[in-house]
Amino acid sequence: MQSVLDVIQLALNLYTYIIIASAIFSWLIAFDVVNTRNRFVHSVVNFLYQATEPVLRPIRNVLPNLGGIDISPVILLLLVFFLQSFIERYLRPALP
């Protein structure tokens, strides 16, 4: 069971980096710093979009309109941090 929790923690850490990268790339695209016509950039942006959008979309549907400011990645990061803390504090000590 300890190994399963380690894998879940590792996946949550990796997903945290994916969320942060997605937010940074969205800013870079919005300010026209990176060119999405480049194949490599397009494939990276497409991967990040497909990895984060299914989780971010329901959060965006619940949040009110904040005038163009998207705080859904922040909410998702808080949820990921909560899950990591829950695993560390309540699930790991229960293991023999």
Higher per-residue confidence, 82 vs 95: 82
Q: Is the pTM of this model over 0.75?
A: yes
Domain ranges within the chain, ordered by starting residue: 2-91
Tens of pLDDT, residue by residue over 29-88, are 999 999 999 999 999 999 999 999 999 999 999 999 888 889 999 999 999 999 999 999
Residue of 21, 82, 71 whose CA lies nearest to 46? 21
Helix H or strand E encompassing 81: helix 72-86
